[in-house]
Amino acid sequence: MDSGSKPAITLFHCIDAFSQVASLAVPVADSVEVRTVKLPCAAIVQDVYLLRAFEAGADAVVVLTCAEGQCRYGDGNTRAEKRVGRVKNLLDEIGLGGRRLSLFGVSPQDKNACAQIIRETLSGLDDLGPSPAAHNGSAPTTAIRG
């Protein structure tokens, strides 16, 4: 990433999968802007919301689901995974890069999961650089609020 800018990550998360988003480790929180969007289930995240997050300034978007077999709705994490896969393919097709979007299944008991996921995402952004959609000067920066 460009050393002059602070990378922005939008984090969509199931409230059952991860309720500790506010407890990001200080070194991680100081090096990145994280916008969170709480969902009753990750399955309801729509393709358009993922795309709008990039339009609103995200360099990367992360979707946190319940761990496999732990979704209280049965297959919410599987449905979210399919949607994320479709949007990743679309991002590759339009030249934005599907690697900017990721999905992780997490256990609510894992207090360090979010900080580790943010570190992994930041590491990936070192290779990708800032999002062209987020930094072209025409995208709004407040369309999604967490």
Residue for token pair 């999905």: 103
pTM to 2 decimal places:
0.81
Measured at the CA of 38, the angle between CA 90 and CA 57, to 5 degrees, comes to 50
pLDDT attached to residue 135: 55
Q: pLDDT tens digit string along 21-55?
A: 445 443 455 678 888 898 898 889 999 999 999 99
Residue type present at position 77? N
**Residue 58's domain is classified under what CATH number?**
3.40.50.960
Among residues 33, 19, 10, 1, the alpha carbon closest in space to that of 111 is found at: 19
Q: Is 137 within a domain?
A: no
**Biggest alpha carbon–alpha carbon distance for the chain:** 44
Helix (H) or strand (E) holding 114: helix 113-128
pLDDT category at 125 given cuts 50, 70, 90 is confident
Q: Domain limits at 69?
A: 8-128
Q: Is 2 within a domain?
A: no
60-66 vs 101-106, strand pairing mode = parallel
User: Cα(55)–Cα(52) distance, rounded to whole angstroms?
Assistant: 5
